[in-house]
């Protein structure tokens, strides 16, 4: 399959000293991890986000929230990085400064070989005490009635992810904002651009004068601000971009 890429974009990329990227659930769709907001197949197709991804939801029904994350933790562990993840890892090797910020909790960028990755919404592989925030070291304990408890603190365990209304990890957010402000080229890949503060990063990059490239099969609220809007799957477009740099 041939993908038409704007030649100006390839020229900009060849000149770029600083490249930054923001990814969302769409980049992992081709690894068979459902996105959140797809009306039919998305992770929230039969639940509203407020029922699952808030501290209040966990307080109301910790067992249901735990089970939902346990199901997804297993799915993420079995998933395999796709050519989109691999292409971003390859791009990192080719540029002086590369910063990858992901909203995903699946760890697939690191497994694809990306080295400098900031996880804005945490990681589904880690769990922590809901009362103290202390991370669990080692295996998740078995228990009859989930969630299990932290062996040291005695508090219920929850995933180490960022729910609505919770603060994002400070260092990840600061580094990502700085990378957006300094980028020559900024990619926003596979995100609906609805959830803040992540959705503010490409806007910061535009304001700072970067060339901003959106890769998504669908339009988003960010599309009209993008310098280049590439409609299609990231697992096809990103490898085509990396290949074009070699020509
Ligand atoms: C493809 C594809 C293919 C398909 N290739 N693409 C400013 C304005 C308004 C509201 C706010 C604001 N600032 C903060 C807020 C509130 C809130 C918010 O943004 N609400 C909005 C919904 C309006 N934000 C927060 O609460 C954040 N916290 C915060 O701001 O704290 C302030 C604070 C400060 C100090 C103290 C205390 C508090 C926290 C946000 C946390 C988001 N968490 C989640 C769950 C994580 C855990 C989990 O995984 O379960 O993160 S919600 C969910 O949405 C998840 C995602 O990371 C995030 C973004 O979704 P994403 O990745 O964009 O996925 P989708 O499904 O929406 O889109 C997929 C896209 O892929 C689609 O566009 C497809 O077309 C595309 N696609 N196939 C490329 N093959």
Helices (H) and strands (E) in the chain, counts: 9, 8
Pocket test for ligand 1, best of 45, 122, 164, 174 (most atoms within 8 A of CB): 164
Q: Name residues whose C-beta falls within 8 Å of residue 8's C-beta, 6 or more positions apart in sequence.
A: 228
Q: Which of 10, 82, 14, 1 is nearest to 241 (CA)?
A: 10
**Residue 12 in this model has a pLDDT that exceeds 70:** yes
144-199 pLDDT, tens digit each: 999 999 999 999 999 999 999 999 999 999 999 999 999 999 999 999 999 999 99
For residues 152 and 175, state if they share a domain: no
Task: Tell me whether residue 121 is one of the annotated catalytic residues.
Answer: yes
Question: Hey, whose CA ends up nearest to atom 50 of ligand 1?
Answer: 53
For residues 14 and 56, state if they share a domain: no
**Confidence (pLDDT) at 45:** 80
**Confidence (pLDDT) at 39:** 62
For residues 154 and 103, state if they share a domain: no
- Domain end position, chosen among 141, 161, 181: 161
For residues 48 and 70, state if they share a domain: yes
**Residue 50 in this model has a pLDDT that exceeds 80:** no
How far apart (Å, rounded) are the C-alpha atoms in residues 186 and 174?
16
For residues 212 and 172, state if they share a domain: yes
Distance between Cα 247 and ligand 1 center (Å):
36
For residues 208 and 223, state if they share a domain: yes
Q: If phi over 0 gives left and psi between -120 and 50 gives alpha, with beta otherwise, what is residue 97?
A: beta
For residues 176 and 110, state if they share a domain: yes
Q: Provide residues with CB under 6 Å of ligand 1.
A: 24-26, 29-30, 35-37, 42, 53, 103, 105, 121, 161-167, 190-192, 194-197, 215-218, 220, 233-235
For residues 239 and 173, state if they share a domain: yes
**Confidence (pLDDT) at 117:** 98
Structural domain boundaries, residue 208: 1-33+81-121+167-247
Burial class from Cβ neighbours inside 10 Å (0-12, 13-18, 19+) for residue 10 reads: middle
Query: What CATH number did the domain enclosing 109 receive?
Result: 3.40.50.1220
For residues 57 and 146, state if they share a domain: yes
For residues 55 and 7, state if they share a domain: no
Cβ count within 10 A of residue 137: 9
- Mean pLDDT taken over the chain: 96
How far apart (Å, rounded) are the C-alpha atoms in residues 164 and 52?
10
Section 194-215 average pLDDT: 98
Distance between Cα 201 and ligand 1 center (Å):
12
Question: Hey, whose CA ends up nearest to atom 20 of ligand 1?
Answer: 195
Structurally, the chain folds into a number of domains equal to: 2
**Confidence (pLDDT) at 37:** 84
- Domain end position, chosen among 145, 161, 177: 161
66-91 pLDDT, tens digit each: 999 999 999 999 999 999 999 999 99
**Residue 29 in this model has a pLDDT that exceeds 90:** yes
Find where tokens 């402000």 sit: 181
**Confidence (pLDDT) at 176:** 98
Section 46-60 average pLDDT: 87
**Confidence (pLDDT) at 40:** 64
Catalytic choice (85, 97, 109, 121): 121
For residues 86 and 21, state if they share a domain: yes
122: tokens are 């945490």
First-to-last C-alpha distance (Å) of the chain: 17
Beta strands in the chain (DSSP E): 18-23, 97-102, 117-119, 122-129, 157-161, 185-189, 211-215, 228-230
Distance between Cα 194 and ligand 1 center (Å):
6
**Residue 237 in this model has a pLDDT that exceeds 90:** yes
- Domain end position, chosen among 161, 186, 216: 161
212-231 pLDDT, tens digit each: 999 999 999 999 999 999 99
Q: Name residues whose C-beta falls within 8 Å of residue 164's C-beta, 6 or more positions apart in sequence.
A: 49, 50, 53, 54
For residues 74 and 179, state if they share a domain: no
* Dihedral sign for Cα atoms in the order 200, 202, 205, 209: negative
Distance between Cα 217 and ligand 1 center (Å):
18
96-130 pLDDT, tens digit each: 999 999 999 999 999 999 999 999 999 999 999 99
**Confidence (pLDDT) at 42:** 72
ω before 185 within 30° of 0 (cis)? Answer: no
Percentage of the chain exceeding pLDDT 70: 99
Query: What CATH number did the domain enclosing 67 receive?
Result: 3.30.1600.10
How far apart (Å, rounded) are the C-alpha atoms in residues 79 and 73?
10
């Amino acid at each position: 399959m041939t993908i038409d890429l704007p030649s100006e974009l390839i020229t900009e990329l060849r000149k770029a000293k600083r490249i930054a990227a923001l990814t969302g659930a769409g980049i992992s769709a081709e690894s068979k991890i459902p996105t959140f907001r797809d009306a039919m197949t998305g992770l929230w197709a039969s639940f509203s986000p407020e029922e699952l991804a808030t501290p209040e939801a966990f307080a109301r029904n910790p067992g249901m929230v735990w089970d939902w994350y346990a199901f997804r933790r297993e799915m993420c562990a079995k998933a395999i990085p796709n050519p989109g993840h691999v292409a971003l890892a390859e791009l990192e090797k080719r540029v002086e400064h590369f910063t990858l910020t992901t909203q995903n909790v699946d760890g697939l960028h690191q497994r694809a070989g990306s080295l400098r990755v900031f996880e804005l919404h945490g990681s589904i592989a880690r769990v922590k005490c809901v009362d103290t925030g202390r991370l669990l070291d080692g295996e998740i304990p078995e228990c009859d009635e989930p969630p299990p408890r932290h062996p040291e603190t005695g508090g219920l365990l929850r995933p180490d992810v960022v729910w609505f209304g919770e603060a994002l990890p400070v260092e990840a957010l600061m580094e990502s904002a700085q990378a957006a402000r300094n980028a020559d080229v900024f990619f926003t890949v596979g995100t609906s651009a609805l959830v803040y503060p992540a959705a503010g990063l490409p806007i910061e990059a535009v304001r700072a004068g970067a060339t901003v490239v959106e890769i998504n099969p669908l339009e988003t609220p960010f599309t009209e601000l993008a310098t280049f809007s590439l409609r299609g799957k990231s697992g096809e477009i990103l490898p085509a971009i990396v290949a074009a740099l070699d020509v």
